Amino acid sequence: MSTRPAAGQTKSRRTTVPAAFDIGAFAYDRLVGANPGYHEHLRLSARRMRLPCDGRGLRLLDAGCGTGASTSALLDAAPAAEIVAVDASREMLAHAAAKPWPPSVTFVHAAVEELAEAGVHGPFDGIFAAYLIRNLDDPDAALRQLLALLHPGATLAVHEYSVRDSARARAVWHAVCGAVIIPAGKLLTGDARLYRYLRESVDGFDGAVRFQRRLRQAGFTGVHSKTVPGWQHGIVHTFLATRPPASVR
């Protein structure tokens, strides 16, 4: 769904984006399941967090869990961890919660900007944010909030599209959106607005260099990124960042 405001109006992504995902939730798993590498790339980003052992004793946050694909990836990386998974779309969250999960996984309906109001408090031993930051009104404020929710020394992994730094990545992204993603979304849901929004939001998001700078400005250290294999090489990235030890801040 496009979030561009009409003349004289202001639309908040905090309301329009969850509403768009509510509409498309019933077909979301089928669409992403048809994307080669989608689930494996999420698992790769979760593994890149280098969580110790099997995650026993850890408390992790899946910020923007959608229908649970990122939650599953995080659980795969740390099967013994406690995981709190949150999303602002009630329908996406309902699809996630309806799947079989161990008792260590909890789902909470909340926008990332309103976690405290929903009873979600830190500190966490790691945060996984897949396809989230690009959809927020104020990514800088959200990153500062996520920083504050981490234990000192803990890792934030942002799994996200970023194509601005590469002409090749932009060309591939536009070609796949125009030929596959948008037509498939319309075919399955009868409404292509969510998938046109996907294309537009990725086009408007930071390049990898700019986003790394944004993470540093929010207070993170050890900031770096890695891309993924397959057709999304150079398109999807794992951004890794650490909350500095208390003595450093």
Q: How far is the C-alpha of 122 from the C-alpha of 17, rounded, in Å?
A: 25
Closest CA relative to residue 76, chosen from 94, 110, 112, 102: 102
Sorted by sequence, the CB contacts under 8 Å of residue 214 that are 6+ apart come out as 139, 140, 143, 206
8 found inside a domain: no
183 found inside a domain: yes
Sorted by sequence, the CB contacts under 8 Å of residue 188 that are 6+ apart come out as 27, 30, 31
Q: What CATH number did the domain enclosing 54 receive?
A: 3.40.50.150
Q: How many domains does the chain have?
A: 1
120 found inside a domain: yes
4 found inside a domain: no
171 found inside a domain: yes
156 found inside a domain: yes
Domain span at residue 232 reads 13-242
- Could you report the per-residue pLDDT of 38-60, keeping only the tens digit for each? 999 999 999 999 999 899 999 99
5 found inside a domain: no
CA 117 distance to own-chain centroid: 21
236 token code pair:
């999807």
Percent of the chain with pLDDT over 90: 78
213 found inside a domain: yes
The confidence score (pLDDT) of residue 2 equals 30
Q: How far is the C-alpha of 139 from the C-alpha of 143, rounded, in Å?
A: 6
- Could you report the per-residue pLDDT of 201-238, keeping only the tens digit for each? 999 999 999 999 999 999 999 999 999 999 999 999 99
Task: Give the mean pLDDT of 113-139.
Answer: 95
